[in-house]
């Protein structure tokens, strides 16, 4: 029987989001897999994305962006 629980790793300790009472005191095998969550800070606003698309349509994939121009916020 296996049970999937979520938690947070702190060094050699794993803090589970819920108790695993049916496994209390038993030896267990732990397989770790990161939970990928969206990074909201890196998201581009809809107006900025729309402007980027309009610029790309007008100038094509080769311009007008230059390497020294700042990236989207």
Q: What is the pLDDT of residue 61?
A: 67
Cα distances (Å, whole numbers) of residue 11 to 14, 49, 61: 8, 39, 45
Q: What is the pLDDT of residue 45?
A: 78
3 in Cβ contact with 23 (< 8 Å): yes
Is there a cis peptide before residue 64, judged by omega within 30 degrees of 0?
Answer: yes
| Residue 68 forms part of a structural domain | no
Q: Supply the range of the domain harboring residue 11.
A: 7-32+40-59
Q: What is the pLDDT of residue 40?
A: 62
* Number of domains within the chain: 1
| Residue 53 forms part of a structural domain | yes
Q: What is the pLDDT of residue 47?
A: 84
| Residue 66 forms part of a structural domain | no
Question: Is the full-model pTM beyond 0.75?
Answer: no
Q: Which of 17, 20, 42, 39 is nearest to 29 (CA)?
A: 20
Q: What is the pLDDT of residue 44?
A: 73
| Residue 16 forms part of a structural domain | yes
Question: In the chain, which stretches have pLDDT less than 50?
Answer: none
């Amino acid at each position: 029987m296996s049970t999937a629980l979520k938690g947070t790793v702190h060094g050699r300790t794993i803090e589970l989001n819920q108790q695993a009472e049916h496994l209390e005191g038993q030896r267990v095998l732990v397989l770790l897999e990161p939970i990928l969550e969206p990074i909201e800070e890196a998201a581009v606003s809809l107006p900025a994305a729309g402007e980027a698309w309009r610029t790309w349509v007008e100038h094509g994939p080769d311009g007008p962006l230059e390497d020294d121009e700042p990236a989207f916020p």
